[in-house]
Amino acid sequence: MGKLPGRVAIVTGGGRGIGRAIALRFVEEDAAVTVAGTGREHLEATVAGIRSRGGRAHAAVADVADEAAVERLIASTLEAFGRLDILVNNSGIAGPTSTVASLARPDWERTLAVNLTGAFLCAKHAWPHLTRSPFGRIINIGSVAGFIGYPLRAPYAASKWGMIGLTRTLALEAGEHGITVNAIAPGSVRGERMDAVIRSRAASLGQTYEEIERSYLEPTALKRMVEPEELAATAVFLCSDEARSITGETLSVSAGFRV
């Protein structure tokens, strides 16, 4: 038996990268999963992969910044599985690479809307169902950018600082219901998004891809990027019975990132 037997989870941003790794690992641990996001093709591919292995999964196309879409996401999960035990707020965008002085307001607002407001909306509408679960868990995917100043990435950093505050506040409000709320702060995670971030930063600073990549690796103790599967393992632990007394925390999974 896995560590999450019979539990039902929503993983936003579940079609690719970190979200996909978490969804796959949850199913390996005997949970059922709704994978949500804006890319139908990626969501359906993830669900097909899960079902081919005998797992239970459901795809829901939803922009988490749209409250009506979030409400439909929760409703479709209840229709598919009849309950909700775990919410993983993973949906996020990298946002622009720009100085604050050059930043366009719509880019700022869209980054905050997806990365932070989306987590708030999902928590808000999942709340009444999580309070009825004996295994209620919320996992917010933050970033080490939530601990530092991050030149050229102001809206992204602000959204991740905000995610830590939201996590701590939710934990205090949820405790009386037995729900734990924690955040995971990844460092540089190997994959398409990190590749795009490096390329954009290299172009903005007039440096090579290799120079920018080194700038992300040098502050880490292990001198490497984090693998999505390592974050998935952390999420499973935080959602398991073993972590029932851990709440309001932000766990850095960053290969030892320090500034």
Q: How far is CA 112 from CA 38, 72, 92, 163, 172, in A?
A: 17, 21, 9, 10, 23
The catalytic residue among 150, 156, 209, 216 is 156
R_g of the chain, CA atoms, integer Å = 18
Q: How far is CA 209 from CA 196, 197, 203, 204, in A?
A: 10, 10, 9, 11
φ/ψ of residue 72, rounded to 5: -65, -35
> Is residue 209 among the annotated active site residues?
no
Active site residues: 156
